[in-house]
Amino acid sequence: LMYKPIDADVIIVGSGVAGLSAAFCLHLKEPTLHFIILEGNANIGGRAFSVPLAVGNDGESTSYFDVGGQWICSEQNLLLDLLDTLGIPLTAQQKQGKVIVEHRNMYAVHSVQDLFNFLGPYDKLQFTIFIDKVEALCSNIKESEDIRHMDALNKLTLKEFIDNSIKSEAVRAVIEYIVLLNCGVRTSQISALFYIFFCISTKGIANQMPTEKTNLHELRIKGGVKYFCDRIVEEIGMQSIFTEEYVTGIHTNDGYVEIKTKGNTYYSYNVIVAVSPGDVLKIKFRPPLPRNKIDAISNTSTNAVTNFVVTYPRDFWTEEGFCGDIYIFDKDYTNGPIDFCMNIDNNDQRPAITGRIFNSGPVKGNHRTYSNDVLEQLFRYFGEEALYPVDYYEKSFSLGLSQMTCWYLGNIDYINSISSANGRIFWAGAETSSEWYGCLAGAVYSGNRAALEVLYDLRPQLLTTDDMMILSPTRRSLRARLRECPKENVYYVVVHWKYYLSVSLLVLIVLWRLRTRYLKWNQQ
């Protein structure tokens, strides 16, 4: 084995939220550990992308606005603790006022809690039954009580699962929209098993509902995700980050890791790969990655999404009693590109609206520009002032930079395959996380996990009991558990404690009646 000069103990590929979180965890746990971050772009942050836009009446001052990953839920404790450590405040979404809803027709509801008012009584009953069914499946799979369901769920698209469970077209439209809003894909593009896993990772389907007080679009970082990334860089030092170093190859052996970029070669003892799943496939690995990992990454679904931000001199929509939120449940009946809008004014003298436009699939090449169509649509909702913004910006994400990478049919062991270490290679990223999958908090969780895995290899004495709980898998892989199950399809059979209780009570009643008859017979 030839001696190689080591550039760092650990090299992190990618300076997105996951990569920066891994670096910050290493920095806190072991300040003497030398690490560097290799970033292929000129800027840091990955899919967490912030831009400066003109604000205010004169438009001469600017503020940073997020056009990538940005939303936070109040149950995402690890992320909240990190923000608290860095001294970064949060801001809650303003929800006072009427909400624009489109389903066959456009109308306004009094508040976001009335979002599903277009559903009739029978529709609401079906909606409730579906939610209960999903929550039951989550509980059974998470607790390993009824894992035989997974095989059947893995063979169904989520659309097929919904169509088998729900007859109401309105309820199907609502669920399609909830999935699109939170995952960025259509229900026909993902397996039913993936959605159950996503619900488990987000602590239940309720957190995906805009009507709930606690939800995935509940909070944002004051100052934007760029401020969050900048604070981490302040702590770890900009000298640790090398930008415009696009990694093309990773070669591992018993003694070190060789990392090739387009212009340089670096050596380290371990490497954390913290890029999107699509970008992993662009790196040449020697020896090659295991086939199950490549298959898991390849058998996924993504969509193109365009995020936009519009700033205005004043929040004129509030004068008409609107909060600024827009939900489009049935785009076929809508004249305009917008799928979702939210007011991000927060009473800080920078009135703004952000929104999303979803496409039907990944888009290659140049993206179309939506600015005129967006402003026209906002004009129909809020009036003429919507046509005269202070500033407008939109950014399209596709392929490697899509909102989220989801599993398709047959990809039952994705999360285990994609997150498992391969020798000296460790993995981070929002889509490698079993907690808050695909979210900002998932990126932080995965970065911490990967950093702890590296420390377990290099400095195991530094790890605490809490650290070991993150490293120790609480469940066997989905595929391993399926092998232990009988082969028959028992998808519609759910064995529950209430079943046993009912049978036991029935037996007791029968025995009591037999005893009574026996006593009467003896008395005669």
Residue type, 120: G
Amino acid 255: pLDDT:
87
Beta carbons of 92 and 219 less than 8 angstroms apart: yes
Amino acid 3: pLDDT:
55
User: In this structure, what DSSP letter does residue 392 have?
Assistant: E
Distance, first Cα to last Cα, the chain: 98
Amino acid 334: pLDDT:
85
pTM as predicted: 0.86
**Alpha-carbon gap, residue 266 to 259, rounded angstroms:** 5
Q: Where are the beta strands (DSSP E) in 69-123?
A: 71-72, 90-92, 98-103, 105-109
- The three-class DSSP label of residue 438 is coil
Bond preceding residue 89 cis, omega within 30 of 0 = no
User: In this structure, what DSSP letter does residue 74 have?
Assistant: T
- The three-class DSSP label of residue 184 is coil
240's CB contacts (< 8 A; 6+ apart) are 23, 35, 36, 37
188's CB contacts (< 8 A; 6+ apart) are 157, 158, 159
Q: Structure tokens of 117?
A: 């008012």
User: In this structure, what DSSP letter does residue 214 have?
Assistant: S
**Alpha-carbon gap, residue 119 to 130, rounded angstroms:** 14
The single residue listed with the structure tokens 């387009």 is 262
Beta carbons of 293 and 347 less than 8 angstroms apart: no
Q: Structure tokens of 273?
A: 């790969």
Residue 340 phi/psi, 5° resolution? -155, 140
Amino acid 512: pLDDT:
74
Amino acid 493: pLDDT:
31
Bond preceding residue 287 cis, omega within 30 of 0 = yes
Per-residue pLDDT of the chain (524 residues; tens, 9 = 90+): 455 688 999 999 999 999 999 999 999 999 999 999 999 999 888 888 889 999 987 777 888 899 988 899 999 999 999 999 999 999 887 778 899 999 888 788 888 888 898 999 999 999 999 999 999 998 888 776 556 778 888 889 999 999 999 999 999 999 999 999 999 999 999 999 999 999 999 999 999 999 898 999 999 998 889 999 999 999 999 999 999 999 999 999 888 999 999 999 999 999 999 998 889 999 999 999 999 899 888 888 888 899 999 999 999 998 889 999 999 998 888 889 999 999 987 656 689 999 999 875 444 545 678 999 999 999 999 999 999 999 999 998 875 555 688 888 777 777 778 888 999 999 999 999 999 999 999 999 999 999 999 999 999 999 998 888 888 653 334 444 334 333 333 333 333 434 445 556 667 777 777 777 766 666 65
- Characterize the bridge pairing of strands 8-13 and 265-273: parallel
**Alpha-carbon gap, residue 37 to 232, rounded angstroms:** 13
**Alpha-carbon gap, residue 96 to 227, rounded angstroms:** 27
Beta carbons of 76 and 56 less than 8 angstroms apart: no
Beta carbons of 227 and 88 less than 8 angstroms apart: yes
Beta carbons of 364 and 71 less than 8 angstroms apart: no
Amino acid 494: pLDDT:
35
**Alpha-carbon gap, residue 478 to 144, rounded angstroms:** 10
Amino acid 189: pLDDT:
92
Q: How many other C-beta atoms can be found within 10 angstroms of the C-beta atom of residue 294?
A: 15
Q: How many other C-beta atoms can be found within 10 angstroms of the C-beta atom of residue 51?
A: 18
**Alpha-carbon gap, residue 331 to 244, rounded angstroms:** 40
The single residue listed with the structure tokens 């292929």 is 40
The angle, 0 to 180 degrees and rounded to 10, between the axes of the packed helices 17-29 and 440-458 is 40
Q: How many H-runs (helices) and E-runs (strands) does the chain carry?
A: 16, 22
- The three-class DSSP label of residue 17 is helix
Handedness of CA 124, 126, 131, 136 (dihedral sign): positive
Q: Do you know the residue count of the chain?
A: 524
Task: Please name every residue paired with 452 in a beta bridge, in sequence order, or none if there are none.
Answer: none
Short-list 3, 13, 6, 447, CA closest to 249? 13
- Characterize the bridge pairing of strands 265-273 and 425-427: parallel
Q: Structure tokens of 140?
A: 């059974």
Show the 3-state SS of 311-347: ECCCCHHHHHCEEEEEEECCHHHCCCCCCEEEECCCC
232's CB contacts (< 8 A; 6+ apart) are 20, 21, 23, 24, 86
**Alpha-carbon gap, residue 322 to 96, rounded angstroms:** 8
**Alpha-carbon gap, residue 236 to 406, rounded angstroms:** 32
Amino acid 483: pLDDT:
41
User: In this structure, what DSSP letter does residue 434 have?
Assistant: S
- The three-class DSSP label of residue 66 is strand
Beta carbons of 392 and 385 less than 8 angstroms apart: no
Amino acid 144: pLDDT:
62
